[in-house]
Homo-oligomer: A and B are copies of this chain.
Amino acid sequence: MTKNRLEAFSDGVLAIIITIMVLELRTPAGHDWQGLLRLWPTLLAYVLSFVYIGIYWNNHHLMHTVRRVNGTVLWANLHLLFWLSLFPFVSGWAGESRFAAVPMTCYAGVALMAAAAYNLLVQTILRADVSNHLLREALGDFLKGRLSIAVYAVALVTPFLGYPGVWVSGLTLMAVALMWLIPDRRIERVLEQAGQSPPG
């Protein structure tokens, strides 16, 4: 039951994060195409951030194979939500600055911290529910998670290596999103099995 409320609260926070980001899209100054075109960096940052939050929401379904939730898991989850809640802020800043070096680094930094918080959450869950073989199988070897963190670290540094470092950073962040967009058959298959034969 506590797990259900954890899912409901997380869904609520993620739904709000993904939606209030649109408030960073300020009304264009003019009423012509140029007014809209001048917004392209904000629009692009919005699309990328929307996809990121969507990925985290998708992956948050791993909660469904969880059988035991304790106080540490609740706080590890809030810790993840904290970093995700900063996406509207860094996304708005990166767009408004037309992808200047410092805002891009901050964006990559928030993405990095969110990925680390997600890994921490997964490990906290596994520790709280040691015998959960279904979950352990669903998560596999964390390869994708560790790879993402390494790539975020690159995106964090490149903006300071001079032109075209900012663009390398942006493309790198998009590449990670694409890697996660490819549906993770592993979690899906395990969730399906869990539906047929409930854990425990």
**Partner-B contacts on A (CB < 8 A):** 1-2, 5, 7-9, 11-20, 22-23, 25, 27-28, 31-33, 35-36, 47, 50, 54, 57-58, 61, 64, 70-72, 74-75, 78, 81-82, 85-86, 88-89, 92-93, 96-97, 100-103, 106, 181, 183-185, 188, 191, 195
Contacts and interface: CB of A to CB of B under 8 A. Distances in A.
B70 A36 contact: no
28 contacts: A1-B64, A1-B195, A2-B61, A2-B64, A2-B191, A5-B7, A5-B11, A11-B12, A13-B15, A13-B19, A15-B15, A16-B19, A17-B19, A17-B22, A18-B81, A22-B88, A22-B89, A27-B96, A28-B93, A31-B93, A31-B103, A35-B102, A36-B102, A36-B106, A50-B85, A57-B78, A58-B71, A71-B184
Given A11-B9, A184-B71, A20 B16 contact: yes
Contact of A75 (B47, B81, B96, B183): B183
The copy count of this chain in the complex is 4
Contacts of A183: 70-72, 75
A50 B82 contact: yes
A27 B16 CA distance: 19
Given A2-B191, A5-B7, A8-B11, 10 more contacts: A1-B64, A12-B16, A18-B81, A19-B85, A23-B23, A27-B96, A47-B82, A54-B78, A71-B183, A75-B181
